[in-house]
Structures are given as C-alpha cells and as structure tokens.
Amino acid sequence: MADLQTINIGNVVNDGLGDDLRTAFQKVNSNFSDLNDELTVTVVNLGTTGVGLFKEKSGSELRFKKLVSGTKMLLDEQDNNIIVNSTAPDAFIRIDTDSGSVLASS
C-alpha cells in the first residue's frame, strides 16, 4: 500500500500556507483509491482436487463451509491445523460402502 498523503492545512485559517482545494482533493482521491485497493479481497480454494471450503462473501464477511465429523471420524482442531482421525482401527485401509467394504492396498 502506498503511503497515505496528508493534506497541508497551514498554520491558521487562510494563511496561504496550506494545500489549495484542488491539491487537497487530489490527495483525498488518491488516499481512497489506495484504501480501496488494499481492501479488495480475493478468495481461492487451492489445489485441483477436493472440495473447496469457501462459501460466499456477504458484505464485509467471508463465509466458509463448516467441517463436520462423520461416523467413526473425528476432527481434532489445533492452532493452525485440523487433523482427521478415526475411531475405527482400520479406517484408513478399509473403505466402507453401502454394499460392503473394500480393502485399500498401499
């Protein structure tokens, strides 16, 4: 972000030392333009596979989808991570489906 420009208001009213009106408003416009550029937010879900977490932007609020644990799955929230754990001892080598289970090799 560029440095914000300060309008010179002089020492006392109409002393001729401050910025003229045109210069003052050029600084105001430049400041607002810089602030607008700084406040623009773009959200990107990274990667080419998986499900994105970003849902929508509502006003100045960014909304994300909530992670919810499922059957035999736990979410362990840490400061910078969410760890997916399972309560089933073979959950990451066996895939359960509606019609049975499949063992994963390596």
* Interatomic CA distance for residues 31 and 28, integer angstroms: 5
* Interatomic CA distance for residues 23 and 9, integer angstroms: 11
List, for residues 47-96, the tens digit of each pLDDT value: 777 778 888 888 778 888 888 888 878 888 888 888 888 877 766 676 77
| Block residue for tokens 């754990």 | 85
pLDDT at 38 over 50: yes
What percentage of the chain has pLDDT greater than the value 70? Answer: 91
pLDDT at 8 over 90: yes
Say which residues have a Cβ less than 8 Å from residue 65's Cβ, sequence separation at least 6.
Answer: 51, 52, 53, 54, 55
* Interatomic CA distance for residues 64 and 53, integer angstroms: 5
